[in-house]
């Protein structure tokens, strides 16, 4: 298990890391690092058309990915917390957006997640720490078996027993309840 400092250093070095979130163990990387995004897609055996969720600890962490100030009131109606919004994206990597014109954002209040984003100085990619279609691991030991060699942050899950709700900001459609 790695410290906050080691996890942030790994993110800055373009590595993929694992960390606890509100409901499940997450795996992620620096969203502005194309090589790290490719590594994450490869590790998870994930479709490039899926896109990723970005998590941050402050609204400004999302400003280079979406026009969050314009939608601040609606976004903040369910933030911070385990609610993911699908919002219109700025010009971002298709690896990040899945080639769509939207991006998924979550403003977390989970202690370890907030600490990572604060120390990193921005949002990070967050997806469940499993290979696509497989069961989500429930412990750091399981993550190490699935993804040998990645750094796993010490910490605890937030007590939510499922992934966050996902809602489209523009249409109001609930993508995942």
Look up the CATH number of the domain holding residue 68: 3.90.870.10
Q: pLDDT category, 139, cuts 50, 70, 90? A: very high
User: Which of 164, 165, 74, 45 is CA-nearest to residue 113?
Assistant: 164
pTM above 0.75, yes or no: yes
pLDDT of residue 168: 96
- Average the pLDDT over 32-37 and give the result: 98
Report the domain count for the chain.
1
Distance separating alpha carbons of residues 141 and 152, to the nearest angstrom: 9
- Give yes or no for residue 136 having a pLDDT over 80: yes
Rg for the chain, CA atoms, rounded:
15
- Give yes or no for residue 164 having a pLDDT over 90: no
Instruction: Count CB-CB contacts under 10 A for residue 143.
Output: 21
- Average the pLDDT over 103-119 and give the result: 97
pLDDT of residue 104: 97
Q: DSSP letter for 3, please.
A: -
- Give yes or no for residue 158 having a pLDDT over 80: yes
Bridge partner residues of 17 (DSSP): 28, 151
Q: Token match 């919004």: residue?
A: 85
- Average the pLDDT over 130-157 and give the result: 94
Per the structure, the complete domain to which residue 130 belongs is given by 4-176
pLDDT of residue 177: 86
Contact 137, 34 (CB under 8 A): no
Lowest mean pLDDT among 84-88, 109-113, 160-164: 160-164
Q: pLDDT category, 107, cuts 50, 70, 90? A: very high
Q: Is the model more confident about 57 or about 67?
A: 57
Structure token digits, residue 58: 């402050």
Contact 130, 139 (CB under 8 A): no
């Amino acid at each position: 298990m790695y410290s906050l400092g080691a996890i942030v250093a790994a993110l800055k070095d373009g590595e993929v890391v694992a960390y606890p979130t509100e409901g499940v163990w997450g795996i992620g990387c620096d969203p502005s690092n194309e090589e790290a995004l490719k590594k994450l897609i490869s590790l998870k055996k994930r479709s490039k058309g899926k896109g990723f969720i970005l998590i941050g600890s402050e609204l400004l962490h999302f400003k280079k990915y979406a026009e969050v100030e314009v939608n601040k009131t609606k976004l903040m109606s369910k933030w911070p917390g385990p609610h993911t919004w699908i919002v219109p994206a700025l010009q971002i990597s298709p690896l990040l957006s899945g080639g769509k014109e939207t991006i998924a954002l979550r403003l977390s209040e989970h202690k370890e997640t907030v600490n990572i984003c604060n120390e990193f100085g921005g949002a990070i990619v967050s997806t469940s720490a499993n290979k696509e279609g497989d069961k989500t691991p429930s412990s750091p030991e399981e993550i190490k078996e699935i993804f040998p060699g990645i750094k796993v942050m010490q910490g605890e899950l937030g007590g939510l027993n499922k992934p966050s709700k996902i809602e489209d900001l523009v249409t109001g459609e609930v993508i995942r309840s």
